[in-house]
Copies of this chain bind each other. A is one copy, B any other.
Amino acid sequence: MNVAIVGATGAVGAEFLSVLIQRRFPVTNLRAFASNRSAGTRIEFAGRPVMVESLAPGCFDGCHLAFFSAGKTISREFAPTAVRAGAIVIDNSSAFRMQPDVPLGVPEINPDAIRGYRGIVAVPNCTAIILCMAVWPLHRAARLQRIVVSTYQAVSGAGARALRELHEQIEAAAAGRALVPKALPYPIVNNLFSHNTSIGPEGSNEEESKVIEETRRILGAPDLAISATCIRVPVPRAHSESINLTFADTLGELKARELLAAAPGVRVVDDREHNRFPMPIDASGGDDVLVGRIRADPSQPPGRGLSLFACGDQLRKGAALNAVQIAELVTNL
């Protein structure tokens, strides 16, 4: 299959390459696209060098599958071109996620919306994917009424430059030098801050709005009440989420643990005796969303409330892995 990656030099782009190889995706020919700044450099795929190209007229001719992760402006401009050239586009940007005719795909949750689809399939926001993976098995069993989620989001979610800044600030902190923010608005080492996207009139930042809207769409629950607070923390990789749930039907803690243990793509890490629960260092680089601290919520009527803590690698299940899983479904691999 002829595969294009748009945004090949970014944080998610690098993950696309490694996930394609890891899952033995049948790539006949790979083309890597990025901004003019990166064009002409080389990346490596399956042991061979690949020249990075600029997007240009005709660049998707002969392409079967195009993964986009270069921001919504690039997706808006070039994804329709790729589709017209005959490619299936799997788009990691927010450009098409809320468009009713574009599936918003999480293969473990809504495979029927994705399977055999032609055109653009959107990959949801990383925080929404991790949240949905953790709550879907429970929602199916007892219908969610409300979610209150607070996040602990990794720096690589803000891109490769922000991740370099985290490492540079760790070096600066070790040497006793001042922490000078450049890619991020504030120092991130020894600190944390509200997600640095703009705040709408109702008080949610863009990340929170995405979590709220996309979660409803992925779960097929348009009336689900969701409160989200998104915070950036000094962790390189893997988002964590503190999740409080209210159910319409009764769901006990033991049944919830059983359902989560049986859910594909979820791994229960919930060892109270040894105080071992989901942590970013354990979720990083892995495929599963880790779920733990599963407990009845004493602040709600018995059987109606649960709390969880989840961690997932937002570059993998939150982006590249989810995208390649979608590719497997649309191409019926």
Contact = CB atoms under 8 A, between A and B. Distances in A.
B148 A279 contact: no
Nearest to A298: B202
A305 B275 contact: no
A218 B195 CA distance: 31
Contacts of A150: 150, 229, 242
Interface in A16-75: none
Given A150-B150, A202-B295, A203-B253, A307 B229 contact: yes
A299 B146 contact: yes
Tallying the copies of this chain within the complex gives 2
Q: Place the interface of chain A in its size category.
A: 35 or more
Nearest to A308: B229
A108 interface: no
Contact of A240 (B192, B203, B236, B295): B192
Interface in A267-312: 272, 275, 277, 279-281, 292-300, 305, 307, 309
A185 interface: yes
Contact of A309 (B229, B294, B299): B229
B186 A281 contact: yes
A136 interface: no
B279 A192 contact: yes
Nearest to A205: B275
Q: Looking at A148, A190, A196, A231, which has the most chain B CB atoms within 10 Å of its CB?
A: A190
Contacts of A128: none
A234 to B, nearest CB: 5
A296 B199 CA distance: 13
A14 interface: no
A11 interface: no
Contact of A234 (B190, B204, B226, B275): B190
Interface of A: 146-148, 150, 152, 170-171, 173-175, 185-187, 189-194, 196, 198-199, 202-205, 212, 225-227, 229, 231, 233-236, 240, 242, 244, 253, 272, 275, 277, 279-281, 292-300, 305, 307, 309
26 contacts: A147-B299, A148-B299, A150-B229, A170-B189, A170-B190, A171-B174, A186-B279, A187-B281, A190-B280, A192-B280, A193-B277, A194-B275, A194-B277, A194-B292, A203-B307, A204-B298, A205-B275, A225-B298, A225-B299, A226-B299, A227-B244, A227-B299, A229-B244, A229-B293, A233-B233, A242-B242
